[in-house]
Chain A
Amino acid sequence: MAYTFNGGIHVDERKNTRGMAAEPFTEPKRVAIPMSQHIGAPCLPLVAVGDQVTVGQCIGDNPNALCCPVHASVSGKVVAMEERRVISGAAVLHAVIENDFQYTLCPDLKGVDKPLEELTAEEIIERVRSAGVVGMGGAAFPTYAKIKSALGKAKHLIINCAECEPYITANHRLMLEQPEAVLKGIKILIHALGVRKAVIAIEDNKEDVIELFENKIDDKALFDIRVMKTKYPQGDERQIIFALYGKEIPTGGLPADVGCVLFNPETAVSIYRALSSGMPVVKKRITVDGDCIKQPRNLIVPVGTSFGDVAEFCGGVRKRFARLISGGPMMGQAQWSLDGVVTKGTGALLFLGEEKEEAGQCIRCGKCVRACQMHLMPALLAAYSEKKDYGECERLGAMSCVECGCCTYVCPGKVQIVQYIRNAKGAINEARRRLKEKGEGK
């Protein structure tokens, strides 16, 4: 029987691109590389306008903070260092590089010359850091910090291959096309963390990958493939751990609190590259789909490529095009312009038409309560948030909401439940911050 969790929803999968092999995208005239593509402090630029850069050259870092370096994804000249507003509203410094189409590799890049067995965890962590590896499932937490914090704590290494968001097939394709790289990356993680084996958690809608992995795995003692029921949000780390081990990450806690650490397969491949060739993360696999893009496909794009360039490469957009989502349709962020760029955390670009749903009223059908895998009562949270009674929202557990969107997806009244809860969470955080400041002031 497949592993699963309580709650969640069966979504319309729309994995239209599952049969489309990833194509390389090499033509951006310019790339704009944000100095902050991860959770943590932004990088300080290491290049200035006019500098020549090569593919893989480190162009930004901040060694004294939780930070992950960024690298040039094309070779060419830095033509601008400019602040741009990103979707969060923050102004982030971007290094704009004009592509010389030479793809000159950075001469400093080289792989490790020792066999894996002789590498220490510290050496691996340093390599992972200098290659700028972040969690590529979307959260973009610096991977070196994750490995470091899991050392000695994590007993279970889980490779999260669920890919439960509709539309997205980027990881699915990666696993089909480069199974060896995925498995080698996992072996490095096993070695670095000092665990006995890795659990590969994969949804049962990817049977071809399961079969392929079973054939490719040479050392059966190291890999344990666990098939999960296809259900959204199976890819949420809390739900994967619950499905596999029946353990709940405590509210506000991390996977390490229950002895687990999770990595995405693309992250594993990036770790493998960082060690084998020294190649940092300069390319990202993304799925381009949605009913308003002419040629949906899977792409491997240089980091910093603009959404507009991607759209052009995919045959352009249809007339009805009105919304661009970076990420999956359930948790992705709507973008306000085509000038935004693909970062290390981008998993998909969805070109969609206008929203058809008109916000209505809660009819108290209870579908959201059944869908919530955090076991909250979304209908009540939304109602109290609408009335700005944030204290009540806090008592009802608003801070446990992971914003997966299940409640809003199933709502027949088309209430923007998640947005109401987000509002409440923002207000609660603000109130807590004020309370803390007050306490410190005394």
Chain B
Amino acid sequence: MDTAHVTGMSPPLRDRLRAALAPPIATLLPRPGSILEWPSSLLPFQLDGVRVLLSQAEVLLADDMGLGKTVQAIAALRILLHRNEVESALVVAPASLIHQWRQELSRWAPELRVSTVAGTPEQRGFAWSVAAHVFLITYETLRSDFAPYANCGPRRRTWGAVILDEAQKIKNRNTGVSTSCKMLPRHRSWALTGTPLENKVDDLVSILEFLQPNPGGEPVAPLHFDPTLAERHRDLQLRRRKKDVLPELPPKTVIRVLLDLSEEQMRSYRWAEEDGVLELRQRGETIQLTHVLQLITRLKQICNFCPETGVSAKVNDLRSRLAVLASEDHRVLVFSQYTDDVFGVRAIERGISRHGPLMFTGDLSQEERKARIAQFKRDKRHRALILSLRAGGQGLNLQEASYVVHFDRWWNPAIERQAEDRSHRMGQTMPVTVYTYTCVGTIEERIADLLEEKQKLFDVLIDEVSLDLDRLLTAEDLFGLFGLVPPASAARASPRGAQAFGEITGGEFEEHMAEMFRRLGFTVDLTPASRDGGVDAIARRTDVVGIETTLYIQCKNHAAPAGVEAVRALIGAVPPGDAGARAILICPAGFSADAVALAGERGVQLVDEKALRVLASQASGGD
């Protein structure tokens, strides 16, 4: 709009006039008669969501998965940009969703210039500097690029809006990611999540700390959940359930499929269980929860495939079902927490190869993920898409499949539902059927029964509280799966909490970490205890193109979070000039804010309990 011809007009007046003269919101909404072109109209509840995003600076959009949170956010952003109420916006999302954001932005706001901040530091530096309306970045990259000084990429400007997709990523307030997000200078803060309270109230509090105005990008004081904060939560959250707003969405049916292991598979299973329980008994008072969890993992893997013969009752059943479904022109998503070629995704692919399955795992690059999904959508000859639960459980639109199979079970029902909602979401025209495999007479059946029993106890709780049931499986529960009684020390520990590591010595913890990195393909050398100078282990790995990565690892299994001194000591111990070197500080109890800030500034990777769990899962063959 040309107003500059009026002599003496100051830029602030020009900006104010642009805002005052912008078309009214009602004429811009994605509905019939809009003066903006939209690919389609939004449903009434989605228009309500857009109106809320336009009218409130802080919003927690917590609609059920599949109701179009991304589209609502993009529509609101587009309108704000057109009305000149926002100049630029930052979207922070998991890596698996970046491509989807680009697609949706291209579809719903094609005139907006989008910059994806990714790649080498030089490429990211350039991406931060381009003139774009929307900047896309992953949580991990944001943490890498975030620094306390004002000139770093994410802090170079005051964002008109910062949008966190899958905002539960910042539920732990002690991580670098969480701190970085909260210190982004911004006028608007939108958090999108389908599971606002995945674990406990503390998770929500961390998200609410983000949902505060912070134009200066100042450090955020911790909040505490009290009646005032509860009221603020109610004011900020917009949550709609599928059953309330989409009664016309086809139903989802979950069927528990009980399978008998074949004779040879059951033989392997029994041998492993007896041997494992014997070993647990022999440990006596030194037995720890980690030992029990390791045995559970081992047995779950055998329920997938016999380690000796590769026979699998689950694959046999899946093959039979696929034969029928393919003849009826249906397609299937298969989820597994394991990715390897003995117990996981790759082994499943081998077992059902005649149906042209595609695989989607965390080790794929962004481009490969994009291509794989496009291939599945495009070519119906691929009757099945086999996904690792972590990589494929979030954000993807896979309505082409109307059948979902949980090849093996995850602890957290919310994660499983999230995976199912890749199929059962807006745009799905067929009823969705979900099969969950459970092998009779095995640990799978006992865990399933235990979880079901626990879930029933909490059905009376309010909808927003979705509990992480694995945290509710006490030591007694887990030891009880094998008819054991936990020793006094293990009985007080939470199943996967920091205390589980706190019960072992520093040396044992270092050895445990070393073993984990070895399983991840590294060659690991533990440094002598008297001369570590801040480094407890050095792990090296050479990749397929000959590039060597060296990790300088410090392990702290203290009860309290690691402080800034630990970070300094590690930085000091890493030899300068080693381009492939990376410093890693592991502390299940978390990190202080100063430690997080310094680590972010100096590129030190911090591994807390949550990240350790992910690494441990990868090391055991999961993703």
- Please determine whether chains A and B interact with each other in the same assembly: no
Contact surface of A with B, Cβ cutoff 8 Å: none
